Structure 1
Amino acid sequence: MTAHEGTKIWTNSGDSHIMEPPDLFDSLPEDVRERLPRSVKDPSGEFETIYIDGQEFRRDLPKPKPGEKKGLGINARPADSTEDDFLNRILGGNDPAHRLKDLDGEGVWGEVIYPSLGIWTFNIRTPRVVKEGVRALNEFALDFQHKSPRFVCTASIPLIDIDDAVAEVRRASAAGFAAGFLPTRPPIGRPEWNDEEWDPLWAAFAETGMVICFHIGTEPHDPTQRTGVYYRGRGGAVLNYVETTYGGQRAVTQLIACGALDRHPELRVLVSEGGATWGPFIADRMNEGYRQHSAGVRPVLSKPPSDFLFEQVYASFQHDASAVPANWAMGWKNVMWGSDYPHFEGTFGHTQETLHELFDGVDAEVSHRIRIGAFQELFPHVPQPPGE
């Protein structure tokens, strides 16, 4: 029998989501409200259309096969028997009391909480619309966060105008946010994260102490393409899922290579739902590029790129069996677990089975660091889980 068998494992989560109420934007002026994101599901249940700022995005909806498994192994929850679980996830998505009951049952304590529909605000191209829409999203998230010290909601940031972005970081921090949510790529038409135009944003995050949080799969989209679709045909579903993970790696590489983390050693970055084993690989690859192509490297950094990644960048994973060795075998200590609650592909309903499969037999110090320690290093104001 392993050390954890028969016991409840407590963990923090570096990845979860809030479900915005349908009337969230009702109080805003009509010309703003009509351009903010809304979702319309097709009667077939096969896809939904997102309407936002005069654009339409079609997104396929998941349709599990009978008997399909969502966990790591034989203890996974059957995906075709989740109707009641789905209703529970929706309730916990925007009802704090119900959410806490779900978390207690699953053994999840503190959570980093991202928007759901609010993710689409990064596709807005009108400065006033995104500024007022983000303010409404953040007021809702802040009210939700106030319901429990276990909730770490992320503030959305308007990115069309850099002055608006900096102002919202400062306002959000003063209001009580400890984390700010950015897409893995800036809005269409805006420069990449390594561009000097974003330097005031990194300075604002450093000044406030807010954690920069990237969630994979949040790149703004071209409305002429189905969202999330890079490949069609054979293997498309797997290829598209893998493709979404690269955005977080690109964003981290840009922040390190452009010197943002060097100029602001107090900055901390979290990449959620993108796995963790990529960290050591990217660190090695950046070091090699920095060393072998040093004649063309600008700016010159104060230390190897890998040091910034290992010291200032964190990542959350969900089911990845390789993520635990990323800590003990590859030396990346900033690895944390995430549940993706209440999303369908998350671990709700089988969190304990997943945690046992991942951590049974793992060194106690490594297990604690991944489940509890890395999260609390970023968010020390969150109380300790029971028994920790």
Structure 2
Amino acid sequence: MELTSLPLVSADSHVEEPSYLWTRHLPASMVKELPIALQQGADTASTFAKRIGVGETEEVKGLTDAARLAGADDVEALCELTADPDRRLAVMRQDDIAAECIYPTSGLFVWSLDNPRVGEACCRLYNEWVYDRLESRSPRFRCAGMIPTWNVEKAIAEVQHIADMGLAAALMPLVGKPEYNHRDWQPLWSAIEETGLPVVMHQGTGHDMLFYRGPGAAVSNLVATQSMAPRTAVLLSTSSVLAAHPGLHFIFVETNASWLPWAMSTADFYHESFQEYDGWVWPDLPEKPSFYMTRQIHGTFQYDPFVVDSLSRTGVEPVLWGSDFPHAEGTFPHSRDSVTEQLAGVEIASAAAIAGGTAAKLFRFDPEVLTKPF
């Protein structure tokens, strides 16, 4: 098979939830507690601009060129387009994509809520909505369900609910409270592993994404949020979470992936060198941290030539391509060209895995569907 004919499976695509999803279907008492991003739905650009101190004297561009090229002329139209299965499939045909792993947009701010009851209601509302609107409409859509992590027992119940419903992954915040090496999480890891669902962690979740304000803040904040991925991945590998749950996979979405070789080699180096200090390295792992990261950690990228150059260090399985539709930093409507350019020097079996094969296995797509025209 040629590189230009490989089935593309985007491991990172989004639905844009309308604001009314939250404001019309939750009790008024809960709506009052929602973050502004959920109250506004997809129209969050101006809010971010004000928070980081830009856009005060110029119009903020709230709709991306990609969204316009897909056929949306305003934010409301974009919400309708991304949640309409027929229109979404038409966009996928335009971009030569066979299937998508789909995540929320404004819903990613749910974990900033302090009230567990409101957070739990938001997660259940989104999960049932996205199943009805997309997951149940086409085998080319595999959607992640949001997990309410304020209470482990409630989280386990929602994991079972989304697994029974047929959603494809458990979406959790990138930064845990408490941190993910805490023993309180162990029952949840076991419950997720039993379902066979992968855990998905999207950049910017579970913490304030705005580290900086003023000049240079937008790009610097994005890089800072992506740095949370190696922090969490190494913690999961060194704390024995991965060793104890070999069937549990973690997918770090929209964090790029060139941090993988750095995190693997750095964790291995200090895992070995810190053995000189009694009691520093615990628990005692049967393998080096990189062994578990190669086996169970994955990162998605849109454009990241450095990770492609490092496949001999990371292995192929950890690296997943995603279009990030419909966002400005995504590859639509040139996804095929972008993938072909970046993977041009990669052996065809490895390229097939990165372009969609590994995502298809993790999210359990029907392989026959991916090769059929639509």
Q: Aligned pair count?
A: 353
2:82 is equivalent to residue 120 of structure 1: no
2:3 is equivalent to residue 11 of structure 1: no
Give the corresponding residue for 1:28.
26
Query: What is the identity, as a one-letter code, of the residue corresponding to 1:360?
Result: A
Give the corresponding residue for 1:184.
174
Instruction: Check the 8 A contact 2:66/2:328 in 1, yes or no.
Output: no
2:90 is equivalent to residue 106 of structure 1: no
TM-score scaled by structure 1? 0.82
Residues 1:27 and 1:45: Cα distance change in structure 2 (over 3 Å): closer
Identify which of 136, 144, 147 aligns with 1:154: 144
Residues 1:329 and 1:293: Cα distance change in structure 2 (over 3 Å): closer
Spell out the pairing of 1:170-249 with structure 2 (5 A cutoff): 170-186=160-176, 190-221=177-208, 227-230=209-212, 232-233=214-215, 235-249=216-230
Larger helix proportion of the pair: 2
2:332 is equivalent to residue 348 of structure 1: yes
- In 1, Cα distance between the equivalents of 2:166 and 2:54? 34
Instruction: Check the 8 A contact 1:216/1:245 in 2, yes or no.
Output: yes
Shift of 1:110: 2.0
Identify which of 245, 248, 254 aligns with 2:235: 254
Instruction: Check the 8 A contact 1:10/1:386 in 2, yes or no.
Output: yes
Shift of 1:22: 2.7
2:69 is equivalent to residue 87 of structure 1: no
Identify which of 154, 163, 173 aligns with 2:153: 163
2:124 is equivalent to residue 140 of structure 1: no
Instruction: Check the 8 A contact 2:230/2:259 in 1, yes or no.
Output: yes
- In 1, Cα distance between the equivalents of 2:340 and 2:265? 31
Gaps of 5+ in 2: 59-63
Instruction: Check the 8 A contact 2:142/2:365 in 1, yes or no.
Output: no
1:313-334 residue CA offsets vs partner (Å, 9 max, x unmatched)? 1111101112222324653432
Gaps of 5+ in 1: 51-56, 66-78, 222-226
- In 1, Cα distance between the equivalents of 2:67 and 2:19? 23
Instruction: Check the 8 A contact 1:9/1:356 in 2, yes or no.
Output: no
Shift of 1:38: 4.5
Residues 1:62 and 1:276: Cα distance change in structure 2 (over 3 Å): farther
Shift of 1:90: 4.3
- In 1, Cα distance between the equivalents of 2:108 and 2:31? 16
- In 1, Cα distance between the equivalents of 2:227 and 2:323? 20
- In 1, Cα distance between the equivalents of 2:310 and 2:55? 30
Residues 1:27 and 1:236: Cα distance change in structure 2 (over 3 Å): closer
Shift of 1:33: 3.0
Give the corresponding residue for 1:75.
none
Residues 1:231 and 1:31: Cα distance change in structure 2 (over 3 Å): closer
2:371 is equivalent to residue 374 of structure 1: no
Shift of 1:228: 2.9
Shift of 1:304: 1.2
- In 2, Cα distance between the equivalents of 1:165 and 1:104? 36
1:25-83 residue CA offsets vs partner (Å, 9 max, x unmatched)? 32332212332345477xx9962279xxxxxx9467999x9xxxxxxxxxxxxx77974
2:261 is equivalent to residue 280 of structure 1: yes
Give the corresponding residue for 1:70.
none
Residues 1:59 and 1:91: Cα distance change in structure 2 (over 3 Å): farther
Query: What is the identity, as a one-letter code, of the residue corresponding to 1:293?
Result: F
- In 1, Cα distance between the equivalents of 2:114 and 2:311? 40
SS in 1 for 2:235: helix
Identify which of 287, 291, 313 aligns with 2:272: 291
Residues 1:37 and 1:95: Cα distance change in structure 2 (over 3 Å): farther
- In 2, Cα distance between the equivalents of 1:45 and 1:130? 19
Shift of 1:261: 0.9
Query: What is the identity, as a one-letter code, of the residue corresponding to 1:379?
Result: F
Shift of 1:336: 1.3
Shift of 1:17: 0.9
Seq. identity, %: 30
Shift of 1:107: 1.3
Superposed CA RMSD = 2.9
- In 2, Cα distance between the equivalents of 1:61 and 1:341? 25
Residues 1:127 and 1:347: Cα distance change in structure 2 (over 3 Å): same
Instruction: Check the 8 A contact 1:327/1:334 in 2, yes or no.
Output: no
Q: Which moved more, 1:287-296 or 1:89-98?
A: 89-98
Query: What is the identity, as a one-letter code, of the residue corresponding to 2:112?
Result: N
SS in 2 for 1:24: helix
Residues 1:31 and 1:191: Cα distance change in structure 2 (over 3 Å): same
Shift of 1:128: 1.1
Instruction: Check the 8 A contact 2:260/2:314 in 1, yes or no.
Output: no
Query: What is the identity, as a one-letter code, of the residue corresponding to 1:386?
Result: T
Query: What is the identity, as a one-letter code, of the residue corresponding to 1:201?
Result: L
Give the corresponding residue for 2:286.
302
SS in 1 for 2:94: helix
Instruction: Check the 8 A contact 2:298/2:320 in 1, yes or no.
Output: yes
Q: Which moved more, 1:358-367 or 1:100-109?
A: 358-367
